[in-house]
Structure 1
Amino acid sequence: MHRTKLYWGTLSTLSIAIFAINSASFAEDLIAETQQPTNHTAEQPQQLKTIVVTGSSAQPKDPDISAVAKTIVTRDEMLKYGDQSVNDALRRAAGFQMPTPGQGPRGGSGSMRFRGGGAPIFLINGEPVQGGPRGGMSVVDSITPEMIERIEITKQPSVAQASVASSAVINIILKEPLDDARISGSVKLGYGLTESDKKEEERKNVSVQADGRDGAWIYSVSANQMWNDSTSTTEVENANGIRQQTRNTDRTSTMFTPRVEYQLDDQQKLVAEIFYRNNETDGNSGNQIQNDKNDSIRLNTRYERKDKGNSDKVRFTVEKQNETESTKSSQYSSYIDETVTEYGLAYDGVRKFDETKQVKFGVDSRFNELESNIAETLDEQRYALYLEGSWKFTPRQTITLGARQEWLDRSGLVEYTDQNFSPVLAHRFDFTDTWSLQTNISRAVKSPNSNNLMPTVSVSTDADAGTMNNPDRGGNPNLLPEKITAFETTLGYNMESGGVNITAYHRDIDDYIEKVIRLENGRYVERPYNQDQATTYGVELAGRYALKQTAKGHSLMLTGQVSTVRAKIEDADHNERLVSDVAPYTASTGLSYNYQPWRLATSINVNYTPEFTRALDYLPYDRTSNERVNVDISATKRFDKGWATTFSARNILSTDYKERLNHQSDGSLYEARVNDAIPSFLFTVEKKF
């Protein structure tokens, strides 16, 4: 295939060519689409010139010389922006299409997407974490900014992080004590109430974060308890008229995370951390009652040795997660009970020979068992070896070459054995101290997750449950792995006060996995299916400007991003269509302002998704998703003796989520659905000790 030959071309020339081709092709497609009818201030790590680093606190220089770019979000930035979760921080990173409130099953949120593909991989201190058996909440959803030192976002393939196929890894680094006190921390109490028309939401939150040092021991504990009760409406329109239905939902979430670290000497340490999480949702709409529970406990242990640029890490993990789902109505009743048990053992090593050469290598083994009261047990074993070398062969050029070999064996529900080899080639050229060009090329195979393979059907809510606009959801045990060839290049201009980065990317995917709606036993069910071939490409523009604190105490930070994506599917007969649920672009901007004499920090963030229309696979309908705007604001005022108050508002001035299905033959309405967008307000009182 002609694309394979590009691996061995001249990298700087290739970078410019890929960037120009992707920019031009996306612009041409975007113009064609818009002509259709519309009725339907942290310090940058020294080696990375293409990264977007935000925040204000100084970070130690990273000895890593890899050409793979990284974006870093610090705890200081998250606190300045008033972030309450990891998702709040990610909304400012280009390439992510964030969940839409009210869009997903049971009135929750739809899945996060990265550049038109699936969800990114989440790591905690370098260790992968899983969601529920059918994509339920993970420990990431319960982590608060107070627990985090920084978030490292790697958007390009890296064999060291098992991200060759996903191209997006989010590594959450938990913080260590900020001083030498035996105990310090904070307590937060939060309350919020929203009442408007038929919408209502009440939120309560209690959280504790404490840490300390005692000789060679470092310890911390985080606990969080949340209650969220809401009332919203859904409006459905079809040939029979318009009808409304009210949904009441009560959510409870508990998270408890103790962590202990023992420093053997200046270079070695032992770490153990436990994540316990329990989430429960009770809801009713009409004559339908739902009860969902997700309970998990995870133990991470590791040995670390660091000696300047050299390091060794041995990781052992155990996690058990149970998810139950009960649905009852006059027409339907179901109960699902699924449990995931996972064991992992891995080793990661880094050897830095001098200031210009380094090697990363490692091995990873995992055993995963999924038990269900409905489907046969699914057992999975994964093994991987990786090797990645980086060479700074001139003062301004670095090349990284890596490969990952994986073996996969599934038994029980699915009898499947596979192995694949994933190479990655990256190059970075620093034209000056501010201008740089970075290119990444990779080939990979992405096997479907176990929650995508389980055929269990999760029943949707509301009176229109089981329709095309509100289908039930399930997995597909016959899924094949995706085969991906990816190209990406970033042109960056970065200084201490900010910068601009523009990225062009292109991905060819064989056996692309898309969620498709099909009629099953009189109800519509959405399941993942393999499409013959898909192409995703686009351009991202991200910028940041930070004004450091002036003599009078003023400081501000301005960020903005536009991320475009064109995702096209081609079937076996060479017919093309756009992927059904990928927006053509998203945009966001944020402004954070701090006035030190008043100890006042404020921020406002705006996110925008345009209206877009897409054809449904094998169905004679076009689906139109409406234009949406979300505005988030927050303000924090600090007082003497460690007291502080914060007011945060999420999803204000937002538009409801609307979907319309129109007949492709004449454009007439088949069915429409409107989900309420509920604004969220929270007033928090904090006391540091």
Structure 2
Amino acid sequence: MIYNKVLSYILFAIVFFTSLEGVSQTIKIKGLVIDQSSKEPLPYATVVVADSETKKALTGTTTADDGTFVMNTKASNFYIEISFIGFITKTFNQFNLNNNTINLGTIALEEDASQLDEVVVQAETSRTEFKLDKRVFNVGRDIASTGASALEVLNNVPSVNVNIEGVISLRGSSGVQVLINGKPSILADDGGALGSITADMIESIEVITNPSAKYDAEGTSGIINIIIKKEERKGLNGSVSLNTGIPDNHSVGLSLNRRSEKFNLFTQLGLGRRSIPTDNENINTDLINNTELYNIGEEYRNEKFYNIILGTDYYINPNNVITLSGNFAYEIEDQPSSNRFKLYDENENLTSEWERTEVTEATNPKWQYELQYQKDYEDHEDHDLLFSALGSSFAKDLSSLFNDVTVAGDDNDAVQRTQSDFSEYTYTFKLDYTKPFSEQWTMETGAQYVLNDVSNDYQVENLVNNAFEVDEGLTNIFNYDQKVLGVYATGAYEGERWGVKAGMRLEHTNLQTLLTNTNEANNQNYSNLFPSIHTSYKFSEMISLQAGYSKRIYRPRLWDLNPFFNIRNSFSIRQGNPNLLPEFTNSYEITSIFDIGRTSLNFGVYHRYTTDVIERITTSQENVNITRPENIGVNRTYGIEFNTKYSPSNWLTLNADFNFNSFNRDGSFESQVFDFKGDQWSSKLLAKFKLPAQIDFEATGNYESEYRTVQSEVSDIAFLDLGLRKKILNGKGVLNMSVRDVFASRINESYTTQDTFLAYSYRNRGRFITFGFSYGFGKGEAMEYSGGRRY
């Protein structure tokens, strides 16, 4: 019944907002755009109508395959601007109006070689631009990204770090929500699944440290939005990429786009194979019995992956577009591992030694499909309505066989096998409406309804007397059902120097979990308000100031709540907590922006206050460490952030990123007090060199300081990435080589010191070397330029 009501409200809203058309007089504008030298038509040239006083675009279109264009406007004081990449722009301030029609006739554009060179440089170089409530990192073809996944590209984005486990953090906090094209995605929910998105597929990455009320309130430290490329030039365009590397990292990618007057067909294809070896070492010390368990081993994650994105835009007319798209990803995993265990008594005598081997196989099919409708109103380019219905599913069929073989001492022979049957279905319905009342005042409103239904059937069996018996203590079915309904409204004023945007979001959450074997249920039903406010002031063309506040929430995920995990290492076990409560964070920040000649510099300060902080607490008994998330008090974080870009010459560009935060923790769990203070900082320096013979070289140095957690000390990390690129085939082809973690120094190391036990952990994935080739084809050299603005 609730689904029918929601759909009825959505359909009513679409009809209502669609009826809000203006009634002023419409002027028709038409013409033909050609190349002055060849006299050939120029398809997909950009035609813009702009306000004569504010110089801001009011509406626009692109030319057809034959160079013609037709558009309408209701403006009265305007000029017309016609541009095309690599050509000198033409502007028309005077024209004849006959029967409400302006006929510009044939417009010949002249080539501009210097502009072509400039576009190529910008397309190759990643750069960051600032907007009122976010930063946009435009992904260029950086050399170190050759053959890289989305996770590795994210690690090059200012303020963002990705650790060796694939955990994404923003300004040192892992409570970040990752979106794809502005929407939740099953690929974003699973850090490993982001590996199926390659750097060649990414247009830009939006970093929103203080999201406005328009965005989902999920994610205590902010939002990262990955924008996937979709080529929109008319005609057939595309690119192909081939990559190979050591250890095994082989992939093929193909991007195709075909644009006509009514349809835009787009697809991304990718397939490959990769291997991720990991060396690990663990030491568990029991301070009560004075025993020590030492473990050293090697784990592999071998994957074959296939990914296809297929979609079409249907242009009903210049102001109404329907998009239907789908994404299918399929992974085949093979995870062999071998670990050697040694147990020492209180006198440091070896009492037992055994080898534990693992054979794990898994298949991971992922589906995502979306229907989207967008209406652009003619009275203003930013007056639009957007509705989307998004569905996704993810399944994981995983089986493991563990074999313990005694090497010396006490008998530890054992055989264990596990089976996981996991499924997740997510449905998201979203409606957004934007209405500018003038060039300065804008209102936004909308709603979102998200349904998330998950089931995980986990079974453990032990070999007893040559027959497998189910271990009832480690076996269960966990069901997770969450529904979140959100509505929001924002209002914004943006003048020439000063702007402000304020909003409010209301979200209602209904969460139900059930452990079927024990009939243990956890039901949470709550509503929350999430206010936000952002402001900016432009002192001059070179200096600006931004400030913002927002309230955020982190809702525990399935793996935070599910108490049954894979027992890959039976002496280091991770569990979930079905009674976990959500985190809430109030976030404040002020950022100054300087753009002086060859230098751009950004400096900011921020503060986060988080309640019901979720921390992973480790307990130990007889050398078995069990880690489980708990709500532990509050956290106050104060930080500073610094980003700069400096180009001392045409052949050298430097980018620097620095982040420091100090935190104060107050909390307790059971009888243990966890009050402490600490700080951490990270820095990144990127140097790009342009060498003769169209060769580029870049080096990226990263450093992350040591820091404290509730129970542990995490060691610092320093690592270096290198890249080399050579253009061939008149710039349409590119040869690349990249070396990530040159010195194999990206090591995760932690020490846990408690009254009853000590724990040491070490993990290292080593060096990755990749060779790549990419080639762009079609009109406009698709590899060099990502397309014009869409109207």
Normalised by the length of structure 2, the TM-score is 0.69
Offset at 1:207? 1.5
Letter in 2 for 1:447: R
User: Structure 1: how far apart are the matches of 2:225 and 2:588?
Assistant: 22
Asked if structure 1 preserves the Cα contact closer than 8 Å seen for 2:178 and 2:188, the reply is no
Residue 209 of structure 2 is matched in structure 1 by 155
Offset at 1:585? 1.1
1:636 is the counterpart of 2:725? yes
User: Structure 2: how far apart are the matches of 1:326 and 1:348?
Assistant: 43
1:603 is the counterpart of 2:658? no
Change (3 A) 1:245 1:79: closer
Offset at 1:578? 4.8
Structure 1 unaligned segments of length 5 or more: list them: 1-45, 48-53, 101-108, 194-200, 617-622
1:252 is the counterpart of 2:342? no
Asked if structure 2 preserves the Cα contact closer than 8 Å seen for 1:55 and 1:77, the reply is no
Among 506, 510, 513, the alignment partner of 2:614 is 513
User: Structure 2: how far apart are the matches of 1:232 and 1:84?
Assistant: 18
Residue 18 of structure 2 is matched in structure 1 by none
User: Structure 2: how far apart are the matches of 1:500 and 1:136?
Assistant: 31
Asked if structure 1 preserves the Cα contact closer than 8 Å seen for 2:237 and 2:258, the reply is yes
What are the superposed Cα offsets for residues 158-192 of structure 1, whole Å, 9 maximum, x if unpaired? 211214653422222232326322x2322222222
Change (3 A) 1:215 1:396: closer
Change (3 A) 1:574 1:190: closer
1:300 is the counterpart of 2:367? no
Residue 507 of structure 2 is matched in structure 1 by 406
Dislocated runs of 4+, deviation >6 Å = none
Residue 365 of structure 1 is matched in structure 2 by 449
Asked if structure 1 preserves the Cα contact closer than 8 Å seen for 2:144 and 2:722, the reply is no
Offset at 1:658? 5.0
Letter in 1 for 2:484: R
Residue 685 of structure 1 is matched in structure 2 by 773
Q: Which is greater in Rg? A: 2
Asked if structure 2 preserves the Cα contact closer than 8 Å seen for 1:80 and 1:601, the reply is no
1:447 is the counterpart of 2:542? no
Higher deviation after alignment, 281-290 or 651-660? 651-660
Letter in 1 for 2:399: S
Offset at 1:654? 3.2
Letter in 2 for 1:366: V
1:416 is the counterpart of 2:524? yes
Change (3 A) 1:66 1:636: closer
Offset at 1:273? 1.7
Among 248, 267, 270, the alignment partner of 1:221 is 267
Asked if structure 2 preserves the Cα contact closer than 8 Å seen for 1:163 and 1:169, the reply is no
Residue 74 of structure 1 is matched in structure 2 by 138
Q: Percent identical across equivalent pairs?
A: 18
Asked if structure 1 preserves the Cα contact closer than 8 Å seen for 2:143 and 2:697, the reply is no
User: Structure 2: how far apart are the matches of 1:658 and 1:315?
Assistant: 41
Change (3 A) 1:570 1:362: same
Task: Tell me the SS of whatever aligns to 1:161.
Answer: coil
Residue 192 of structure 2 is matched in structure 1 by 137
User: Structure 2: how far apart are the matches of 1:84 and 1:517?
Assistant: 34
Among 579, 587, 598, the alignment partner of 1:478 is 579
Asked if structure 2 preserves the Cα contact closer than 8 Å seen for 1:65 and 1:390, the reply is no
User: Structure 1: how far apart are the matches of 2:496 and 2:597?
Assistant: 20
Among 655, 676, 682, the alignment partner of 1:586 is 682
Change (3 A) 1:632 1:598: same
Task: Tell me the SS of whatever aligns to 1:159.
Answer: coil
Matches within 5 A, 1:507-586: 507-519=608-620, 523-546=624-647, 554-571=650-667, 575=673, 577-578=675-676, 584-586=680-682
Residue 34 of structure 1 is matched in structure 2 by none
Task: Tell me the SS of whatever aligns to 2:589.
Answer: strand
Matches within 5 A, 1:658-669: 658-661=748-751, 663=753
User: Structure 2: how far apart are the matches of 1:496 and 1:127?
Assistant: 37
Offset at 1:402? 0.5
Offset at 1:539? 0.9
Letter in 2 for 1:383: L
Residue 390 of structure 2 is matched in structure 1 by 317
1:433 is the counterpart of 2:541? yes
What are the superposed Cα offsets for residues 294-344 of structure 1, whole Å, 9 maximum, x if unpaired? 221100221112241211100011111112333321344322211001111
Change (3 A) 1:165 1:534: same
1:345 is the counterpart of 2:453? no
Offset at 1:98? 1.7
Residue 31 of structure 1 is matched in structure 2 by none
Residue 626 of structure 1 is matched in structure 2 by 715
User: Structure 1: how far apart are the matches of 2:335 and 2:422?
Assistant: 20
Residue 229 of structure 2 is matched in structure 1 by 175
Letter in 2 for 1:404: R
Change (3 A) 1:625 1:376: closer
Asked if structure 1 preserves the Cα contact closer than 8 Å seen for 2:694 and 2:726, the reply is yes
Change (3 A) 1:533 1:204: same
Residue 15 of structure 1 is matched in structure 2 by none
What are the superposed Cα offsets for residues 481-511 of structure 1, whole Å, 9 maximum, x if unpaired? 2122221111221247441111111111111
Structure 2 unaligned segments of length 5 or more: list them: 1-54, 57-119, 285-290, 339-356, 404-413, 458-475, 515-521, 778-791
Offset at 1:677? 3.5
Change (3 A) 1:339 1:142: same
User: Structure 2: how far apart are the matches of 1:186 and 1:296?
Assistant: 25
Among 384, 402, 423, the alignment partner of 2:486 is 384
Offset at 1:136? 5.4
1:336 is the counterpart of 2:381? no
Letter in 1 for 2:244: Y
What are the superposed Cα offsets for residues 178-221 of structure 1, whole Å, 9 maximum, x if unpaired? 6322x23222222223xxxxxxx222112212222123211121
Residue 204 of structure 1 is matched in structure 2 by 250
Residue 3 of structure 1 is matched in structure 2 by none
Change (3 A) 1:556 1:362: farther
Between 1 and 2, higher relative CO (CA 8 Å, sep ≥ 6) is seen in 1
Offset at 1:514? 1.5
Change (3 A) 1:567 1:254: farther
Letter in 2 for 1:220: F
Among 555, 566, 573, the alignment partner of 1:458 is 566
Asked if structure 1 preserves the Cα contact closer than 8 Å seen for 2:137 and 2:157, the reply is no
Change (3 A) 1:575 1:81: same
Residue 602 of structure 2 is matched in structure 1 by 501
Letter in 2 for 1:166: T
Residue 122 of structure 1 is matched in structure 2 by 178
